[in-house]
Amino acid sequence: AQSVTQLGSHVSVSEGALVLLRCNYSSSVPPYLFWYVQYPNQGLQLLLKYTSAATLVKGINGFEAEFKKSETSFHLTKPSAHMSDAAEYFCAGGDNFNKFYFGSGTKLNVKP
């Protein structure tokens, strides 16, 4: 079965520091990959998506992710963390059979 794995259920960074959230996918065919953010008591919001175009994908709020087939990875980065980035982040994949699969999530804490 296809899946995505997020390494680290909790990540803590200082304000202004680099944010790196890790995601690896398991797929026998090129997947479609997404990053979502979920703030407390809210639904998920799409940050960015990879659909086999450019391997470096830029999203909202200064986030970007790079698709690396050789590493089966799609890590999310942001050069400088803001307090408002504190939330839970989910990596997700989709296949050609209209099935979606989410990772277990990474909670990002931003320290002042």
Partner 1 sequence: ETGVTQSPTHLIKTRGQQVTLRCSSQSGHNTVSWYQQALGQGPQFIFQYYREEENGRGNFPPRFSGLQFPNYSSELNVNALELDDSALYLCASSPATTGGVTDTQYFGPGTRLTVL
Which positions touch partner 1 (CB under 8 A)?
6, 32, 36, 41-46, 49, 51, 90, 92, 94-105
Tokens of residue 11, six digits: 């990540």
Q: What is the largest CA-CA distance in the chain?
A: 44
In angstroms, give the least distance from the CB of 106 to partner 1: 10
φ, ψ at 69 (rounded to 5°): -65, -40
Nearer CB in complex with partner 1: 70/97: 97
Nearer CB in complex with partner 1: 22/49: 49
Nearer CB in complex with partner 1: 45/80: 45
Residues in Cβ contact with 28 at an 8 Å cutoff, skipping those fewer than 6 apart:
2
Tell which residue, 56, 95, 102, 101, has the closest CA to residue 76.
56
In angstroms, give the least distance from the CB of 44 to partner 1: 4
In angstroms, give the least distance from the CB of 8 to partner 1: 14
